[in-house]
């Protein structure tokens, strides 16, 4: 095992104990980033700046200064998250020279604990898609097969962690963007309860859905960062899931699964049973209709309003933003919703005051009535598919929307604002990762992370991409 194989937790321990210097570690990562440049995971990488910051951290440690709980941890940052030392492009042309004056608050909390920015990672343009097939900066490629998508929108962050270019990454999640790429790239990804991390300092899509999220090779790494950021005490240690009740909603979440995903999911459920969990078959009959009624109308309405507000700080107009877009799906979408809003202001207000509360109550009732600690389902209906299949994909002989195929299972909890974590559950016959997601009641973040961690320890980590 090399230093590149160290998990976030192991890296932090080695750096704090002096087993390696920050300079030596970032040198190893720099070499890997260059070797794996064909994956196109990074938009901006400044070797000189990174090296200088590493030297300064080593100096501070040698001087006996308190360097924080995350001393020396290099973090890959999705390029729609504001950074003072790097441009923040949002993956789009008009923002190529956009340099914010400050770091996003969530990122700043990590930097205050001694972490440093490794570089800015590629993404689906303006984070509005699930393939990371970016026409401005080029597509992100899957580390397990570069002909395949890495997922989106945080594709570069997930690919960087999976390919050992970074131990840890942060991204944003509006409808699945810190869970879909991890599922397709074979790592763990976390979307917290809405408000736990916030989304301030990110190029927006929809403020009532956007949140920062985290990605790492193990759930234990995500737990470490969550504890540092929130200060919340970890649940009592445990090695099994005895007494834990986990819901299975066969309708919706298990509909039209790729055959290999279905097989892997059933095997994962057997692992959960072996760990002592009680699996409760209980369908969410009302959820699909409640989610469909609010999901895209809220997202698309807020997309124009929120981006308009954000652009006030950049000096750009909306027309200039659209002119700089390169990805046909994103450009066409923004042109359409600018020309004709998906819902009236009165309709939007009603969705917030009536529609979303009904969905949130549906989830509360599901967990409470069935006495559930969590629910479980495959993160995506299928593993990664080839780059270029942006419109439709085939699942069991049926052509379905690519976007809906991948976002289907992650979207409802995003609208409900509850926490979800994706963890690797196995590989397809072609060597592509598949993910299993655990969702929990709002503010049960620590509990579902613990459940996912126990599951990951039982199934083990996936092999390193070749």
CATH class of residue range 3-459:
alpha beta
pLDDT band at 234 (very low <50, low <70, confident <90, very high): confident
- Give me Rg for the CA atoms of the chain: 21
pLDDT band at 447 (very low <50, low <70, confident <90, very high): very high
CA angle 13, 15, 18 (to 5 degrees): 105
Q: Which two tokens stand for residue 29?
A: 């990562």
The pLDDT score that the predictor gives to residue 251 is: 94
The pLDDT score that the predictor gives to residue 418 is: 98
Characterise 287 by phi-psi region: left (phi > 0), alpha (psi -120 to 50), beta (else): alpha
461, 459, 413: which is closest to 438 by C-alpha?
413
Q: What is the mean pLDDT of the chain?
A: 97
Q: Compute φ and ψ for 9, nearest 5 degrees.
A: -60, -40
% of the chain with per-residue pLDDT over 70: 100
The pLDDT score that the predictor gives to residue 67 is: 87
Instruction: Give me the mean pLDDT over the 274-289 stretch.
Output: 98
Instruction: Give me the mean pLDDT over the 104-121 stretch.
Output: 98
pLDDT of 336 over the 80 cut:
yes
In 235-281, which ranges are continuous DSSP H helix?
A: 250-253, 259-274
The pLDDT score that the predictor gives to residue 152 is: 98
Instruction: Give me the mean pLDDT over the 181-206 stretch.
Output: 98
pLDDT band at 1 (very low <50, low <70, confident <90, very high): confident
Instruction: Give me the mean pLDDT over the 98-111 stretch.
Output: 98
Q: Which two tokens stand for residue 395?
A: 């699942």
Q: Compute φ and ψ for 85, nearest 5 degrees.
A: -95, -5
SS3 122: coil
The pLDDT score that the predictor gives to residue 434 is: 98
291, 64, 61: which is closest to 176 by C-alpha?
291
Instruction: Give me the mean pLDDT over the 2-28 stretch.
Output: 96
What does the pLDDT look like over 177-193, one tens digit per residue?
Answer: 999 999 999 999 999 99
Instruction: Give me the mean pLDDT over the 55-79 stretch.
Output: 95
Active-site positions read: 78, 153, 177
Contacts of 386 (CB under 8 A, 6+ apart): 147, 148, 149
Domain residue spans of the chain: 3-459
Tell me how far apart the alpha carbons of residues 304 and 333 are, in angstroms, rounded to a whole number. 11
pLDDT band at 120 (very low <50, low <70, confident <90, very high): very high
| Other beta carbons within 10 Å of 50 | 23
């Amino acid at each position: 095992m090399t230093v590149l194989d160290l998990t976030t937790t192991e890296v932090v321990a080695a750096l704090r104990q002096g087993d390696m210097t920050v300079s030596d570690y970032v040198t190893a990562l720099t070499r890997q980033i260059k070797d794996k440049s064909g994956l196109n995971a990074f938009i901006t990488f400044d070797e000189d700046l990174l090296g200088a910051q590493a030297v300064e951290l080593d100096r501070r440690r040698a001087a006996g200064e308190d360097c924080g709980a995350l001393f020396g941890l290099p973090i890959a940052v999705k390029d729609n998250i504001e950074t003072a030392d790097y441009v923040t492009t949002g993956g789009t042309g008009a923002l190529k020279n956009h340099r914010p004056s400050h770091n996003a608050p969530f990122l700043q909390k990590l930097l205050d604990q001694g972490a440093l920015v490794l570089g800015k990672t590629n993404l689906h343009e303006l984070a509005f898609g699930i393939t990371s097939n970016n026409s401005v900066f080029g597509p992100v490629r899957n580390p397990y097969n570069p002909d395949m998508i890495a997922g989106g929108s945080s594709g570069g962050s997930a690919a960087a962690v999976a390919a050992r270019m970074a131990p840890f990454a942060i991204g944003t999640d509006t409808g699945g963007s810190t869970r879909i790429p991890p599922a397709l790239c074979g790592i763990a990804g976390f979307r917290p309860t809405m408000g736990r991390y916030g989304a301030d300092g990110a190029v927006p899509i929809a403020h009532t859905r956007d949140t920062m999220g985290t990605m790492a090779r193990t759930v234990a790494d995500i737990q470490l960062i969550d504890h540092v950021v929130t200060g919340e005490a970890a649940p009592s240690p445990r090695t099994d899931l005895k007494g834990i009740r986990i819901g299975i909603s066969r309708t919706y979440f298990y509909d039209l699964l790729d055959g290999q995903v279905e097989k892997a999911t059933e095997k994962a459920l057997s692992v959960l049973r072996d760990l002592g969990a009680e699996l409760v078959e209980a369908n969410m009959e009302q959820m699909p209709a409640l989610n469909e009624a609010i999901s895209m109308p809220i997202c698309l309405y807020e997309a124009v309003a929120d981006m308009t507000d954000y652009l006030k700080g950049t000096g750009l107009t909306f027309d200039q933003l659209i002119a700089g877009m390169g990805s046909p799906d994103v450009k066409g979408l923004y042109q359409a919703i600018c020309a004709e809003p998906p819902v009236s202001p009165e309709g939007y207000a009603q969705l917030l005051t009536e529609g979303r509360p009904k969905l949130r109550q549906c989830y509360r009732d599901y967990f409470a009535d069935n006495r559930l600690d969590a629910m479980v389902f495959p993160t995506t209906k299928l593993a990664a598919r080839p780059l270029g299949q942006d419109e439709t994909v085939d699942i069991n002989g049926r052509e379905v929307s690519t976007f809906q195929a991948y976002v289907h299972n992650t979207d409802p909890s995003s609208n409900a604002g509850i926490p979800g974590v994706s963890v690797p559950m196995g590989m397809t016959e072609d060597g592509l990762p598949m993910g299993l997601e655990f969702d929990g009641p709002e503010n049960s973040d620590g509990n579902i992370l613990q459940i996912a961690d126990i599951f990951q320890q039982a199934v083990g980590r996936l092999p390193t991409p070749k």
